[in-house]
Structure 1
Amino acid sequence: MTATAPEAHPSCPGTPPPGRRERKKQRTREALVNAAFTLFAEKGFDATTVEEIADAVDVSSRTFFRYFASKEDVALTFQEEQTRAVMTALAGRPAHEPIMTALRRTVVEIAGACERGELGFKPERFQCLLSMMADSPTLMAGSLEHAQRKQQLLTEVIAERMGLDVESDLRPHVIAAAATCGFQAAADVSRRHEAAFGSLSETIDQAFAILESGLNIPPGESA
């Protein structure tokens, strides 16, 4: 997961700063996200309505839908920030690192940053999202769908890093799928058995260590 604060979205060097209208739109979007997570923490995801989120910012539901397709979309803004952070950090890993090692260090780095409130992440929002996904099948389904959509982007980043052709080489596709499944398995296990496996970042580290060492484990071999 990165080197830049995910909420800042700084402009690239040489590009003009956003105009007043764009700044206003960004403020409205951020206000909707903040209001949504406040309500999610108070009432739970399923009990919170789009109308309540819009009312908290003193805008209409119609305005809400200019920024987000649904309340699931709002909740998963944190996951979107995580994804951007992972892609940025992975691209910056040393070129000599094997791909699964680079993925392991990247994902553990960003998960840890989310937990500690570093790199612009808000730990309370991170914990809120984890709790909501544990309690809401709808949001969990949305999270899995988001991960599937982003898997192709991860495939392309991996292929570029490895110097492979994404259209003719299966390896970046398999690696991206394995990394996605490893993260999802760690998140699921961490939610259910945190006492046994530790924090999410610790569980991710364990999951990616398994991927890094290889999956062809002889029967009966213990960890």
Structure 2
Amino acid sequence: MPSDSTATGTRPPGLRERKKQRRYEAISETAIALFLERGFEKVSVAEIAEAADISKPTLFRYFASKEDVVLHRFADHEDEAARVVTTRGEATALDALHHHFLAGLDRHDPVTGLCDSPAVLAFHRLLYGTPSLVARLYGYQDRSERALAGALATAHGGTPLKARLAAAQIVAVQRTLAEENWRRIAAGEPAAGVHPEAVTSANEAFGQLRSGLGCYA
């Protein structure tokens, strides 16, 4: 399967970029392990730096805040919907996003909320149980909407406002579906058992979007 860089025609990252990305991931995973063990508020930036074997100034060159260290796991997903629209081929934007979400359900992608891996469940409890992380998620959602709006406007035209309104509705539907899946998984239901109803809900939700989003559908 081609990488995103190949699919979109961009050059694959060089050695320096790959090393930097690995450092981002190593720091983030080290910090998350500490947060899961002791709680987000009880771990200091100095302790993260020490555990990652770097200095505090070095840590802040990679991440502006403790919250960003956690939300780094979402970095690849921030413009995911926009990339789906950009590389959709002959499909409409909404069809491409619908099929992409269903594929995520099939592989139990954590982004869809339909994942009962203990590690993912623990991360979700950390994320949604920490007010400052929940607040920071709104920024992530705003950037995701803006990226998707740009892709929709390029793909199907329309005014910038119309594209932004459509993007906001699509992102809200995906978030709501994921939150409902996560709620059921967190209550103890197995992902495999939730999957059929999650697919039905996704089909109904995207059906509602099709009836109201006009040219984007």
Q: Tell me the TM-score normalised to structure 2 length.
A: 0.72
State the partner residue of 2:154: 160
User: When you count helix as a share of all residues, which structure comes out higher?
Assistant: 2
Q: 1:197 touches 1:203 (CA, 8 Å); kept in 2?
A: no
1:134-189 Cα deviation digits (max 9, x unpaired): 21122111112211122111111122222x0443x61x222211111112212332
Rounded to whole Å, the distance in 1 between the matches of 2:13 and 2:139 is 35
Structure 1 residue 16: deviation in Å? 8.2
| Compared CA separation, residues 28 and 150, structure 1 to 2 (3 A) | same
Q: 1:190 touches 1:198 (CA, 8 Å); kept in 2?
A: no
Q: CA RMSD in A?
A: 3.6
Q: Which segments of 5 or more consecutive residues in structure 1 lack a partner in the other structure? A: 117-122, 218-223
SS in 1 for 2:109: helix
State the partner residue of 1:79: 74
The aligned amino acid for 2:59 is F
Q: Given the alignment of the two structures, is residue 4 of structure 1 paired with residue 8 of structure 2, yes or no?
A: no
1:64-123 Cα deviation digits (max 9, x unpaired): 11111111111111112123444333322232x33322212223434655638xxxxxx6
Q: 1:159 touches 1:166 (CA, 8 Å); kept in 2?
A: yes
Rounded to whole Å, the distance in 1 between the matches of 2:75 and 2:13 is 25
Number of positions where the alignment pairs a residue of Structure 1 with one of Structure 2: 199
| Compared CA separation, residues 57 and 69, structure 1 to 2 (3 A) | same
State the partner residue of 1:175: 166
Percent identity between the two aligned chains: 25
Q: Which segments of 5 or more consecutive residues in structure 2 lack a partner in the other structure? A: 111-116, 212-217
State the partner residue of 2:207: 213
| Compared CA separation, residues 214 and 28, structure 1 to 2 (3 A) | closer
Q: Given the alignment of the two structures, is residue 46 of structure 1 paired with residue 41 of structure 2, yes or no?
A: yes
SS in 2 for 1:76: helix
Rounded to whole Å, the distance in 1 between the matches of 2:209 and 2:22 is 47
